[in-house]
Structure 1
Amino acid sequence: MRITKKKKAIEILNILKQLYPTATCSLNYETPLQLLVATILSAQCTDERVNKVTPALFKRFPTAESFAQGDRQEIETFIHSTGFYRNKAKNIHLTCQKIVQDFNGNVPQTMKELLTLAGVARKTANVVLAHAFGIIEGVTVDTHVKRLSNRLGLTTRSNPVLIEQDLMKLLPQPEWENFSISIIYHGRAVCNARKPNCTECALNHLCKHNGSK
């Protein structure tokens, strides 16, 4: 008997929570601003690489004001190894200028306000809201969440916003970020892009990619 997609999503969530009970955001940060900047840097870059770059960056630019007043080319030198560094430096610079001008130097705490910042889409906003402020507004959809959600048959979409909408309908709101973080861990450890380790996967029996129904 086939289970509903919603029951399947809950079962996947429960298995993932057992597999990765201490899963949390892999980016190192001490303040909401640091998390925001680190998440911007993580686009098309590993968290490990970002964590190597940010200590010196945050020491040089400890506040939104220092980023806003700083030289964009200097920011570029700190973040060069994260890739797309010119665009990332521009976004960080413009974002911190707006935070200073419109939000009194503090990272805003609503989705609507975060989306007004340069380089901030729902993925980044969800990470900041959940991990800096404890606000569960949506499901963070990165490349791992996109890949595994499709392989597991929870969505057929390719657009991250539409994937998020599908997942939000299947999962209870308090678990939205737990699902994202756990599935990211699983994507790194087992279900990688090129060669998923299906024989060792605890989700094997639920996986569309592995031929189950």
Structure 2
Amino acid sequence: MAKNVKKLSLANKLAKKGGVITPTETINKQNPAGNLKDIEDLVQASSSTSLYFSPIQTRKQRNLNGEPQRITNIKSEPLSPTRVPPKIKKDEPLSRIAMGSAVVVKCKVIPDIVDSPIRTNHIKKENEPLVKQEIIQEMIEKIKREIDPPVEPQINPDVNAPNPLWQQHLANIRTMRSFMTAPVDTMGCHKCADATADAKTQRFQNLVALMLSSQTKDQTTFEAMNRLKERDLSPQTLNDMPVEELEGLLHPVSFYKNKAKYLKQTVQILIEKYDSDIPDTPKELKALPGVGPKMAHICMAVAWNKVTGIGVDVHVHRLSNRLKWVPRPTKEPEQTRVALEKWLPYSLWSEVTPLLVGFGQTICTPLKPNCRECLNKDICPSANIEAQPKKKNDR
């Protein structure tokens, strides 16, 4: 193993050359006289010269670092009055300065520096995020308008409707109904008849379903009709059935006892006067026990394929008032029917009832209308209407 060779220190090297340095006085490291030298200068200096050299860097190191000249210590410059932020005293009043459209900042109004460049730059930097956000929002709205441009409400000047936007209402309801299935679509009165029965029996079953549907949900009516069809539903079958048994089959239909009584009276009239068939005019249908105008007009459309009027139930009545399709608010469905038939084109009479009924069962419900999902929320007179207490006849 090699012997340890003691390396000569810089002082020993200088001593061999005869350049012994003896400091004559203590020099402050701050070096106020400015006589800092490089360590290489000591070799050429005489022993009698008192020098102070930098123990940190050599000349070569400074040159490599790109510092050919020594950099003296620079004391921190005190802030000028314009750089010092003004202090706000607690007893001085504060004013509001609106920063953008959504943020409000409280600060003191200083007249002497409000218009200064420093103050202006400071406000601009605070406003930059808000300005960028507004620009981004405008770009998003522009893209939305290009993808889905707003539809101008359609106005039909040929129809003297209470609401000139009724045609746009109807188009939007058609669109919404095309994407959803309502109970009336699968369990309405037109779906309750036995498709395998003869035409006369089907017409009778349509009438029975309409009589049971008054103030009753379509699901309940559909289930009651299935129980009756299991007993071979026909005028003669109901005529021979005891009223107590009929009541048991109709329960839980609303007012099932009264409806059982009306059915017993109706089948007797049909057997005696119409040969077990149903009348083919609204006037004769309304003369039957328990049959009103709504049932008569719907029955004419479903059973006889004749459009004689608009069938207005609670849904059509409610929506007509919410959309302002009536010149003034109506209290009864029959009043709504008369008002609608005065202006609504005849070609829409058969469509409007199932359309509005399904819309009222799914979106514009009586208790909590879902205005957020409604396409008419921007043009509906009753948009975001407060929920009304549910009544028994709004089923």
SS in 1 for 2:308: coil
TM-score normalised by L of structure 1: 0.90
Show CA shifts across 1:99-154 (max 9, x none): 11111110111101101111000111122111122111111111111111111111
Which 5+ residue runs of structure 2 have no aligned equivalent? Answer: 1-152, 156-160, 195-201, 385-395
Indicate which of 270, 291, 294 corresponds to 1:120: 291
Q: Separation in 2 of the partners of 1:77 and 1:175?
A: 39
Name the counterpart of 1:177: 350
Q: Separation in 2 of the partners of 1:134 and 1:65?
A: 25
Greater alpha carbon shift after TM alignment, 63-72 vs 89-98: 63-72
Indicate which of 189, 193, 200 corresponds to 2:373: 200
- Cα pair 2:154 2:167 within 8 Å, conserved: no
- Cα pair 1:76 1:89 within 8 Å, conserved: yes
Name the counterpart of 2:175: 18
Which 5+ residue runs of structure 1 have no aligned equivalent? Answer: none
Show CA shifts across 1:4-44 (max 9, x none): 53643333233323333587572322311111111111112
Name the counterpart of 2:333: 160
Letter in 1 for 2:245: E
Check if 1:131 corresponds to 2:302: yes
Check if 1:62 corresponds to 2:233: yes
Show CA shifts across 1:53-93 (max 9, x none): 21121231421122123211111010011121110101111
SS in 2 for 1:10: helix
Structure 1 vs Structure 2 CA RMSD: 2.3
Greater alpha carbon shift after TM alignment, 160-169 vs 15-24: 15-24
Considering only CA atoms, is the larger Rg found in Structure 1 or Structure 2?
2
Letter in 2 for 1:39: L
TM-score normalised by L of structure 2: 0.50
Letter in 2 for 1:26: G
Question: In percent, how many aligned pairs have the same letter?
Answer: 29
Letter in 1 for 2:264: H
Q: Separation in 2 of the partners of 1:117 and 1:191?
A: 33
Name the counterpart of 2:363: 190
SS in 2 for 1:170: coil
Name the counterpart of 1:71: 242
Q: Which has the higher contact order (CA 8 A, sep 6+)?
A: 1
Q: Separation in 1 of the partners of 2:375 and 2:353?
A: 17
Following TM superposition, where does structure 1 have runs of at least 4 consecutive aligned residues deviating by more than 4 angstroms?
1-4, 21-25
- Cα pair 2:154 2:165 within 8 Å, conserved: no
Q: Separation in 2 of the partners of 1:168 and 1:153?
A: 14
- Cα pair 1:10 1:171 within 8 Å, conserved: no
Check if 1:100 corresponds to 2:264: no
Greater alpha carbon shift after TM alignment, 66-75 vs 1-10: 1-10
Name the counterpart of 1:29: 193
Q: Separation in 2 of the partners of 1:2 and 1:157?
A: 25
